[in-house]
Amino acid sequence: MPVRVIIPTPLRQYTGRKEFVEVEAKNVAEALANLTAQYGDLRRHLYTDDGKLRSFVNIYLGEEDIRYLQKDQTPLHDQDELSIVPSIAGGTKLRCICR
Amino acid sequence: MMLKLDQSHLDQIRQHGARDYPSECCGILLGRADAKDKEVREVVPLKNLRHDSARAQALLPLDDPGRETERNRFLIDPMEQLRVEKDARARSLDVVGYYHSHPDHPARPSNYDREHAWPWYSYVIVSVQKGEPKDLTSWVLTDGRERFDPEQVDALNL
Ligand SMILES: [Zn+2]
pLDDT band at B148, cuts 50/70/90? Answer: very high
* Per-residue pLDDT tens digits for B49-95: 999 999 999 999 999 999 999 999 999 999 999 999 999 999 999 99
The reported pLDDT for the residue numbered B143 is 85
**What is the least distance, in Å, from the CA of A27 to any CA of chain B?**
21
Question: For an interface test with A, which of B79, B93, B141 has the most A Cβ atoms less than 10 Å from its Cβ?
Answer: B79
Top-level CATH class of A2-86? Answer: alpha beta
Euclidean distance between CA atoms B133 and B104, whole angstroms: 10
Higher-confidence position of B158 and B88: B88
Ligand 1 geometric centre to CA of B101 (Å):
7
Residue A54 Cα, ligand 1 centroid: separation in angstroms? 21
User: Distance (Å, rounded) from C-alpha B75 to C-alpha B109?
Assistant: 15
Determine the distance in angstroms separating the CA of B22 from the nearest CA of chain A, rounded to an integer. Answer: 12
Query: For residue A93, which residues of chain B lie inside 8 Å, CB to CB?
Result: 105, 110-112
Q: What ipTM score was computed for the predicted complex, to two decimals?
A: 0.95
CA distance B11 to chain A (A): 21
Stated pTM of the model: 0.95
- Concatenate the DSSP letters of all residues of A25-88 into one string: -SBHHHHHHHHHHH-GGGHHHHB-TTSPBPTTEEEEETTEEGGGTTGGG-B--TT-EEEEEE--
Q: Could you tell me the end-to-end alpha-carbon distance of chain A, in angstroms, rounded to an integer?
A: 62
**CB-proximal residues (5 Å) to ion ligand 1:** A 90; B 110, 113
Contact between B105 and A87 using a beta-carbon 8 Å cutoff:
no
State the burial class of residue A93 (Cβ atoms within 10 Å of its Cβ: 0-12, 13-18, 19+).
middle
Q: Which parts of chain A register pLDDT below 50?
A: none
Work out the pLDDT band at B145, boundaries 50, 70, 90.
Answer: confident
Residue of A88, A93, A97 to mutate, interface with B, max B Cβ within 10 Å: A88
What residues have CB less than 8 Å from B102, skipping those under 6 apart? A92, B24, B108, B125, B126, B127, B128
Domain total in chain B: 1
- Please name which of A58, A71, A13, A97 lies closest in space to residue B116, comparing C-alpha atoms: A58
The pLDDT value recorded for residue A96 is 67
Q: Are A42 and A36 in contact (CB under 8 A)?
A: yes
Instruction: Please give the share of chain B, as a percent, with pLDDT higher than 90.
Output: 94
Q: B49: domain CATH number?
A: 3.40.140.10
Report the pLDDT value the prediction gives residue B156, as an integer from 0 to 100. Answer: 85
Question: Structural domain of residue B125, as residue ranges?
Answer: 2-156
Q: Cβ–Cβ of A60/B82 closer than 8 Å?
A: yes
Q: Does B22 sit behind a cis peptide bond, omega within 30 degrees of 0 on the bond before it?
A: yes
Residues B16 and B50 sit within 8 Å (Cβ to Cβ): no
Contact A56 B116 (CB under 8 A): yes
Q: What is the mean pLDDT of chain B?
A: 96
- In one letter, which amino acid is A34? N
Of A13, A65, A87, the CB nearest to B116: A87
Using a CB-CB cut-off of 8 Å, the residues of chain B touching A13 are 119-120
- Once rounded to an integer, what is the mean pLDDT over residues B125-150? 96
